[in-house]
Structure formats: C-alpha cells, structure tokens
Amino acid sequence: MVSGEKTERSEAPARSGARRARGRPRSFDRATALEAALLAFWEHGYEATSVSDLTRVMDIGAPSLYAAFGDKRSLFEEVVREYGVRYGSFGDRALAEEPTARAGIERMLREAAAEYTAPGRPHGCLVVHAAANCSTAEVEESLRERRNANIAAIESRIAADADRGVLPPDTDAAALARYTGAMIQGMSQQARDGATRAELEALAEIALAVWPRG
C-alpha cells in the first residue's frame, strides 16, 4: 500500500509535466511559415486558401497563426509585401535601372517571362492571380491599387521620355502604359495556363514591336 502510494505520487508530477509540455505553444520559424503561406496564396489565391489550409502548410496551430500574423487578411497583406520584395520587384528595378522607358519595359517583359515560369514554385504573378474570384472587397481593392500603381509608374516613365525627346511628343503615355500592364497581366495568366518561358518571350517580342520610336 505504501509502495503504491509512492508510485502514484511520483508519477503525478510526470503526468502533469507532460500535460504542460503538450499545452505549451509550439515554436516555429516565422520566416519559414511565412514562405509557406506565400506559396499557398500564390498557388490557390486568397479566397480559396482557408485558415485550415494555412495552418497545415505552415505546420502551426491556429492560435500560433493568429498570435504571430493576426487574422487571414493580415497574414495575406504581409505575404503580398514579402512577395513584392522577393519575387515581384523585377519590374521596379527594370524601370529604375534602364536608361529609357522602352529598355525598361523590354527588360521587364523578358524577366516576367522567366519569373512567371520559374520551376519549383507557382507560375504567374501572385498579385494578379490572388484577386481571381475574390469576394473580400478590401483585399480585392488592395490588389487593384497595387496593379494600378505599377501602371502609373510605367506611365510616368514613358511621359518623362516623351518630354525629353526620347519618344515622340505625341506619345499617349497612359494608353501605352495600359497596354504594357495588359501584357504583363496576360503573361501571368498564360504562365498559369502552361505557357513556357520561350513562348512568353516570343509574346514580349511582339509587344515591343508596336513601341514608338523617337
């Protein structure tokens, strides 16, 4: 009887400790979890990616997700920012680093062909694809603003070249920028549909053929 009591008492702390261990928040690498969420949203879009999908691919529980990232929309906003830095910045760099708007757009289209078909990750552009079938107005508006900001940056660069004589003074900068945006967004969808890098590069060549000369 005494021996039994000692055993019971000695095991109780162990069981209690096991319960505490199970109840502790699971530690995880935030950057790794964020990348997993990014790939999920990129592949499936915002609306079709559920919280349960996210916890599964991020390998964390819902409480950890909410504690580290906030709700699904907050997580998506962080994902979009991360995507812009890691995968989507090629267009901004092309416009900033090339000497003319045409050279910048040529580089942008060629790099889009490579980026949108890169192996080992979803094809196309997250900012374009994530808006598909999106019924969350705030998310849809945020993505629309990002796409329109990109077009506005292209228009500004084209207008600057027209002002300094690199392009004809009557160049319709707004229309040419919209055309370029349509090409970029179309290339994204074509990549989702299976177009190869070479096929998208051929498309870029055709797009550049209509570019006005100074």
pLDDT single digits (tens) 69-115: 999 999 999 999 999 999 999 999 999 999 999 999 999 999 999 99
pLDDT of 196 over the 90 cut: yes
Mean pLDDT of 156-172: 96
Give buried/exposed letters for 65-75 (b at 16+ CB in 10 A, else e): bbebbeebeeb
Torsion angles phi and psi, residue 116, rounded to 5: -75, -15
One-letter amino acid identity for 165?
Answer: G
| Rounded Cα distance, 172 and 152, in Å | 13
161 three-class SS: helix
Q: Is the four-CA dihedral 135, 124, 95, 84 of positive or negative sign?
A: positive
- Judge contact between 125 and 188, C-beta under 8 A: yes
pLDDT digits (tens, 9 = 90+) for 5-61: 433 333 344 444 444 444 445 577 999 999 999 999 999 999 999 999 999 999 999
